[in-house]
Amino acid sequence: MKEWNAKLRKESYALDRQVRSIKREEDKIKKSLKDAAKKNDKQVCTILAKEVVRSRKAINRINASKAQLSSVQLQMQQQMGESHPLPDLET
């Protein structure tokens, strides 16, 4: 159980790192997009704008995956809690 939780946490952190790297790339693309817009280069602007949209979709997919991981982790904890009931406290 502990090993599975550790693996799930590790995967969650890896997904966070991916999101951060995608956001960094998106910021670079936005800067390039602004530069291309100043130069009135419509074709480059279109390509870069599509890339920004793709990066946002990728971030949304990663966040959905992370939500599923946390759901699995909570379900595992719930199952373990149900399989190991607390002893009756008699006073």
Give the per-residue pLDDT at 44. 95
Name the nearest CA neighbour of 73 among 23, 10, 27: 10
Mean pLDDT, the chain, whole residue set: 90
Q: Would you say 13 and 35 are in contact if contact means Cβ atoms under 8 Å apart?
A: no
Q: Would you say 65 and 13 are in contact if contact means Cβ atoms under 8 Å apart?
A: no
Q: Tens digit of pLDDT for each residue in 18-45?
A: 999 999 999 999 999 999 999 999 999 9
Q: What is the pTM of this model?
A: 0.78
